[in-house]
A = this chain, B = another copy of it.
Amino acid sequence: MTGVLRTIAEFRAELDRRRAAGASAGFVPTMGALHDGHRALIARAAAGNDVVAVSIFVNPLQFGAGEDLDRYPRDLDADLKVCAEEGAHLVFAPAQAEMWPVPPAVRVSAGPFGELLEGAARPGHMDGVATVVAKLLNAAGPCRAYFGRKDAQQLALVTRMVADLAFPVEIVPCDTVREPDGLALSSRNAYLEPEERAAAPALYAALRAGLDAFRAGATDPDAIEAAAAGRLAAEPRFIPDYVRLADPERFERPAAAAPGHVLAAAARLGSTRLIDNVML
């Protein structure tokens, strides 16, 4: 690995130099605190491209007031080790003053994605994601960019942004990586107390119950969501936020469930908010 680049200019120049020599570029934007889900993204990028860049930037624009910006886990040395092990060639780790020397006046609006589900639960979150991803993609230049399906609404937003605004980028969705007990990997899992960690797989189990209902023939979104919500209610530590069927492109609730739709859920476990989803 060539080391850590700290400025947009250096990052862009390095990728431009490699592209000019004929290399294809893979890009994995992250907030650090890298886990096996990120490892899978980086490994996938390394398998499909000549040069792989990972960005590590905890973006304050996508955290709301009272959210976990301050306690979000940060460990650059550990992250660099993960990047190197998985075959990344470049790490772009800008300081706040490099990414947002002043608060951006011109931002990307997530539109309807900012009003639905995660957007409704976290005002400003989706706009903050769209804005930072736009800036990171502009810094990276033409590339394939890898995003996990765990953040399905973010994936839908970024995919739509790239199409609507013609970024020279191909978005590559990557499957969620799970613990053996089903819990989706997330940097926020580190917040869980032991009893919470023990209860946490109930979220995925609930989504599986919804999926089972669909496989058993249910197509009414109410029925599928109710099957999942019922299973989630069996774990009293969870305070559900939503359990919702969504089409994978617009993230709107469909009239009838069909293969490819996403059953998404968010719920609180103590002070930690977890999200997960399954595809029908």
Contact = CB atoms under 8 A, between A and B. Distances in A.
Interface of A: 8, 12, 20, 104-113, 127, 130-131, 134-135, 138-139, 141-142, 157, 160-161, 164-168, 250
Nearest to A131: B165
Nearest to A12: B168
Contacts of A130: 106
A142 B139 CA distance: 11
B104 A164 contact: yes
Nearest to A110: B106
Contact of A108 (B12, B20, B112, B165): B165
Of A138, A161, A165, which is in contact with the most chain B CB atoms at under 10 Å from its CB? A165
A138 B142 CA distance: 10
A105 B166 contact: no
Contacts of A111: 104-107
Contacts of A105: 111-113, 160, 164, 250
Give me the 9 closest cross-chain CB pairs, A-B, nearest first: A104-B164, A106-B161, A105-B111, A109-B109, A138-B166, A106-B164, A135-B166, A135-B165, A139-B166
A246 B223 CA distance: 58
Given A107-B164, A134-B134, A135-B166, 5 more contacts: A106-B111, A107-B109, A107-B111, A134-B165, A141-B142
